[in-house]
Amino acid sequence: MQASGSEDEIVQGINVTPLVDITLVLLIIFMVTATFVTQQGLKVTLPKASTVEHPPTPALTVTMAKDGRMTLMKQPVDLASLKLHVANEVSLDPNVRVLIKADKDLTYGQVAAVLDAVKDAGVRRCALAMERR
C-alpha cells in the first residue's frame, strides 16, 4: 500500500500557477513603465528661464519645431487647421487649456501668430513651456 505523499506517483499535470504569477508581474511592470515613456512629435529645444512655473495640466499641446513644422497633440497641423481644431475643443469645453512648446530659435512673430490663432479660437488659458536654467 502506498502513502498518498509518495514520490513514486505519476505527475498528472503541470502546475502553471508560478508561470501565471510571473506573467502577470511582467505585464504590470510593462504597463507602469509604458506610462512614463512619452514621445514628442517634434524635437524642440525649449528656451530657458530662471523662474519657471509649473503649467496647469494642459488638455492640448501645440509643438512648434525650428523648421516651422507644427503639431497639435502629435498630429501635424498648419495655422488654419490649428485654429479650427482648437475652436472645436473650445466648443466642447470652454475652459480648455493650451500649452505651447516652441523651439527657442523661432522668431517672436511665429510664436505670436500661434498665440493669436489659439486666442482667436476662444482659449482663455494658454501657457508657454520653458526649461529651468
Give the model's pLDDT for residue 56. Answer: 53
Q: Is residue 21 part of a domain?
A: no
**CATH number of residue 91's parent domain:** 3.30.420.270
Model confidence pLDDT, tens digit, residues 83-100: 999 999 999 888 899 999
pLDDT tens across 38-53, in order? 554 566 676 777 666 6
**Secondary structure of the chain in the HEC alphabet?**
CCCCCCCCCCCCCCCCHHHHHHHHHHHHHHHHHHHHCCCCCCCCCCCEECCCCCCCCCCEEEEECCCCCEEECCEECCHHHHHHHHHHHHHHCCCCEEEEEECCCCCHHHHHHHHHHHHHCCCCEEEECCEEC
Number of domains in the chain: 1
In this structure, is residue 99 part of a structural domain?
Answer: yes
Does residue 69 surpass a pLDDT of 60? yes
pLDDT of residue 41: 58
Judged against a pLDDT cut of 60, whether residue 3 lies above it is answered with no
For residue range 109-132, what is the model confidence (pLDDT) as tens digits? 999 999 999 999 999 888 888 877
